[in-house]
């Protein structure tokens, strides 16, 4: 690898969406040589065949332990690989573990060149986690809305309320019991199931 050329980066991630987000970020930042590995079988031989300069892996991936093997001197290894560890840079390690990503650097690549790659991975991993959170919240909000609609229906039928009155009753009960409206609605559904 020449000093000016883009280092070859392998992304080991079973999540295609996160890998795509990461890949896009890296390309935008000028790292054009990016390969995504999604299949964990024969991971090591895939990596040896690719011969990357940097390997990025998510921390939810059990295959991380497989990468640790590459530090060992073995006849199978062509180039020694080390995790990006710098005794003086605990903050980077903390940030990457918090974000859920880990980077391995292949001997020959200067640490200064890894730093921007790692920073980018951390920010993209965090962005993905936020997206995931939002998605989860949206999903549960949708779920809640369905449950609330059904609970309103039950109240309207049993107590002869209008939809607005049923909703006000749910909301005031939730406030009084310091619970979420969704929880009160769920307990109405459960109770009505029991009393059927």
Nearest to another protein of 75, 176 (CB atom): 75
Min CB(185)–another protein separation in Å: 28
Min CB(104)–another protein separation in Å: 10
Nearest to another protein of 66, 129 (CB atom): 66
Taking each helix axis from N to C terminus, what angle separates 163-176 and 111-159, rounded to the nearest 10 degrees?
Answer: 120
Min CB(4)–another protein separation in Å: 31
Could you list the residues that contact another protein (CB under 8 A)? 40-42, 44, 59-69, 71-76, 83, 85, 87, 90, 93-94, 97, 102
Burial group, residue 150, by CB count within 10 angstroms (0-12, 13-18, 19+): middle
Nearest to another protein of 31, 125 (CB atom): 125
Nearest to another protein of 62, 160 (CB atom): 62
Nearest to another protein of 82, 131 (CB atom): 82
96's tokens: 């990457």
């Amino acid at each position: 690898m020449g000093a000016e050329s883009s280092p070859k980066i392998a992304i080991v991630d079973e999540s295609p969406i996160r890998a795509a987000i990461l890949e896009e970020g890296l390309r935008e930042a000028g790292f054009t040589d990016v390969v995504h590995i999604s299949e964990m079988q024969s991971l090591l031989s895939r990596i040896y065949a690719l011969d990357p300069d940097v390997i990025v892996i998510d921390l939810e991936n059990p295959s991380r332990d497989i990468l640790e093997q590459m530090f060992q001197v073995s006849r199978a290894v062509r180039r020694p690989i080390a995790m990006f560890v710098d005794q003086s840079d605990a903050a980077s390690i903390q940030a990457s573990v918090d974000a859920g990503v880990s980077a391995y650097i292949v001997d020959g690549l200067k640490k200064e060149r890894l730093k921007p790659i790692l920073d980018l991975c951390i920010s993209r991993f965090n962005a993905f986690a936020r997206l995931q959170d939002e998605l989860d919240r949206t999903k549960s909000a949708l779920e809640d809305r369905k449950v609330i609609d059904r609970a309103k229906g039950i109240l309207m039928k049993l107590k002869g309320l209008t939809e607005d009155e049923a909703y006000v009753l749910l909301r005031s009960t939730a406030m009084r019991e310091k619970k979420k409206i969704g929880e009160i609605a769920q307990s109405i559904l459960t109770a009505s199931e029991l009393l059927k």
